[in-house]
């Protein structure tokens, strides 16, 4: 971690997606703004005033969920908060990725900074301190139903604030939270009335994973256009179908962007030019070539829709109950802190993860389809009946050598898995909390499977890129477009070999995967063309 000197300011407004990525993935530090600190203190003043009220208030002086009818005496309320976090920190399975937990912590801090949750400023500051000291609570795979928010995952984060549970430290090892806090010079907090609930009642886990998936898929769709252009070239396809006038007949913005990329990538291709003219008898290419902008474009438009939902969720203040000002203003972000600021708490259902869960599932469907088309383009290279003069399986000595035959098997296996991952999680609901929480979003599960789907698409595109690169080599002396030439050279420089006798193939596939995953393929192409 700590790979950037950037410090992200967390104020009363939403966190920018790029700032979330900087904190989650690059270890950027965070700092609460003065405005956020004041808003946190104003909201806490409301909670403190209501805690002394003889009338019970949910989340402050009552139990939770199906136990909300029990009034809790003042002397037991610290026990109530500890019990809430300890009992809800009930996840199971392998630990989720550090970047997911950091994203979740930042988003909860952002909600707290909005001034509607009622935590103490010291609690919010400790959450920021954990991020700044690279202390990451261990959160396990299973436990969230996506309603009331990501309860179990966020409870593991809150548990660390109490100095309990497990955390990962900069040495990459798991340690008791109390030990890690002491080593960093930090003291745990004792959660006060409402604080426990305020720290766990949000969609932060699923939202963080959605934002990271959007960033990854934005890059991967450019990679898909690069892969498709290389495949069109090497399979002696035509670029005429990508003409702007044809694409404008169906004015989807994603389609237009993808087609523009294909035109740019195929410009100045000696391979395409070699069969452009009156002697060409290719009337139409297969759908996997000809319809690349339509499919890639539809995925792009799905990503754009998901980003709209994510940006709305970033602007939300999700907690239950939520702290509001008097007279329905709902605004505690201005005015002077302290002095028993007038206000109230109100129960609500904003923690339900349906809006996020739906787009997580939608993206998984789009990812599966993009990967399916990539696999079909790859398969055409390997069939001598369809690859326009290339050797079977692009093998050096077909029969003795199998070439890339089994690389396509690997692709097909991944695509099959992606189709299973495309089954929506959000259509399921298992009631919980004695039927009080009788409809849940399953958004966490949708997010977890989308992460696996994004990784699968990366692997499928990597195999298409290395296959099309080998095919372009076999078209020599015809010269590919400049971007394609550069991508082929990138692969060769990193040990993905040129055509030749069979060799141990798995390391080359993994190298191609890393070059796609890390954005090197796109960056190399973009040195020659501007990609949308």
Judge whether 410 and 378 are in contact, CB under 8 Å. Answer: no
The strand pairing partners of 8, in sequence order, are 30
The C-alpha atoms of residue 48 and residue 119 are separated, in whole angstroms, by 10
Q: How many CB atoms lie within 10 A of CB 7?
A: 14
Judge whether 205 and 154 are in contact, CB under 8 Å. Answer: yes
Judge whether 126 and 32 are in contact, CB under 8 Å. Answer: no
For 92-211, strand residue ranges (E) read 92-95, 136-137, 140-142, 166-168, 174-176
Judge whether 134 and 170 are in contact, CB under 8 Å. Answer: yes
Residues with Cβ within 8 Å of residue 102, at least 6 apart in sequence: 23, 24, 25, 131, 136
Q: How many CB atoms lie within 10 A of CB 34?
A: 8
Is 171 buried (19+), middle (13-18) or exposed (0-12) by CB count in 10 A? exposed
Task: Tell me which residue of 408, 404, 387 sits closest to 395, measured CA to CA.
Answer: 404
The C-alpha atoms of residue 496 and residue 488 are separated, in whole angstroms, by 9
List the end-to-end C-alpha distance of the chain, in Å, as a whole number. Answer: 30
The C-alpha atoms of residue 71 and residue 481 are separated, in whole angstroms, by 73
Tokens of 12: 């009363």
The C-alpha atoms of residue 197 and residue 319 are separated, in whole angstroms, by 8
The C-alpha atoms of residue 129 and residue 135 are separated, in whole angstroms, by 8
Judge whether 439 and 431 are in contact, CB under 8 Å. Answer: yes
The C-alpha atoms of residue 124 and residue 478 are separated, in whole angstroms, by 62
The strand pairing partners of 431, in sequence order, are none
Q: How many CB atoms lie within 10 A of CB 249?
A: 6
Candidate list 58, 142, 409, 504, residue with the active-site label = 58
Judge whether 244 and 347 are in contact, CB under 8 Å. Answer: no
The position carrying tokens 């993206």 is 363
Active-site residue flag, 287: no
Q: What is the dihedral of CA 489, 388, 410, 516, to 10 degrees?
A: 30
The C-alpha atoms of residue 464 and residue 408 are separated, in whole angstroms, by 9
Judge whether 90 and 158 are in contact, CB under 8 Å. Answer: no
The position carrying tokens 């995967």 is 513
Judge whether 357 and 437 are in contact, CB under 8 Å. Answer: no
The position carrying tokens 């523009």 is 260
Q: Where in the sequence numbering do the catalytic residues fall?
A: 58
């Amino acid at each position: 971690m700590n790979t950037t000197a950037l410090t992200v300011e967390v104020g009363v407004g939403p966190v920018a997606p790029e700032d979330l990525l900087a904190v989650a993935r690059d270890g950027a530090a965070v700092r609460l703004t003065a405005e956020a600190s004041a808003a946190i203190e104003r909201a806490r003043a409301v909670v403190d005033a209501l805690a002394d009220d003889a009338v019970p208030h949910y989340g402050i002086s009552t139990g939770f969920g199906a136990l909300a009818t029990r009034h809790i005496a003042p002397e037991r309320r610290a026990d109530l908060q500890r019990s809430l976090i300890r009992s809800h920190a009930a996840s199971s399975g392998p630990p989720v990725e550090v970047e997911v937990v950091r994203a979740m912590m930042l988003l909860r801090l952002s909600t707290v900074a909005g001034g509607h949750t009622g935590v103490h400023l010291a609690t919010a500051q400790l959450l920021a301190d954990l991020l700044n000291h690279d202390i990451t609570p261990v959160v396990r795979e299973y436990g969230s139903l996506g309603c009331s928010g990501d309860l179990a995952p966020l409870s593991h984060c809150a548990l660390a604030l109490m100095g309990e549970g497990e955390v990962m430290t900069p040495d990459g090892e798991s340690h008791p939270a109390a030990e890690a806090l002491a080593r960093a010079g930090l003291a745990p907090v004792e959660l006060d009335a409402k604080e426990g609930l305020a720290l766990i009642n949000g969609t932060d886990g699923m939202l963080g994973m959605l934002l990271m998936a959007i960033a990854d898929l934005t890059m991967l769709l450019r990679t898909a256009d690069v892969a498709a252009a290389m495949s069109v070239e090497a399979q002696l396809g035509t670029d005429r179908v990508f003409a702007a006038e044809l694409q404008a007949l169906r004015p989807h913005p994603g389609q237009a962007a993808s087609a523009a990329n294909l035109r740019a990538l195929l410009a100045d291709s000696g391979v395409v030019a070699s069969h452009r003219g009156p002697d060409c008898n290719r009337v139409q290419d297969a759908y996997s070539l000809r319809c690349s902008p339509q499919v890639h474009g539809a995925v792009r438009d799905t990503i754009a829709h998901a980003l709209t939902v994510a940006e709305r969720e970033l602007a939300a203040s999700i907690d239950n109950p939520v702290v509001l000002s008097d007279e329905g203003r709902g605004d505690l972000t201005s005015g002077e802190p302290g002095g028993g600021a007038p206000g109230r708490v109100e129960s609500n259902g904003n923690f339900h993860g349906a809006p996020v869960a739906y787009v997580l599932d939608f993206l998984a469907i789009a990812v599966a389809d993009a990967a399916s088309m990539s696999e079909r383009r790859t398969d055409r290279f390997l069939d001598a009946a369809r690859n326009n003069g290339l050797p079977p399986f692009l093998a050096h000595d077909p029969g003795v050598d199998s070439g890339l035959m089994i690389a396509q098997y690997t692709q097909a296996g991944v695509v099959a898995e992606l189709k299973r991952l495309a089954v929506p999680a959000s259509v399921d609901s298992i009631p919980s909390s004695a039927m009080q929480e009788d409809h849940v979003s399953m958004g966490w599960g949708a997010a977890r499977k989308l992460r696996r789907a994004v990784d699968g698409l990366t692997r499928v595109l990597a195999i298409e890129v290395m296959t099309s690169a080998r095919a372009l080599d076999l078209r020599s002396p015809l010269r590919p477009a400049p971007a394609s030439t550069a991508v082929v050279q990138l692969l060769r420089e990193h040990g993905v070999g040129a055509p030749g006798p069979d060799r141990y193939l798995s390391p080359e596939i993994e190298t191609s995967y890393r070059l796609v995953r890390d954005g090197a393929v796109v960056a190399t192409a973009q040195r020659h063309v501007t990609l949308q």
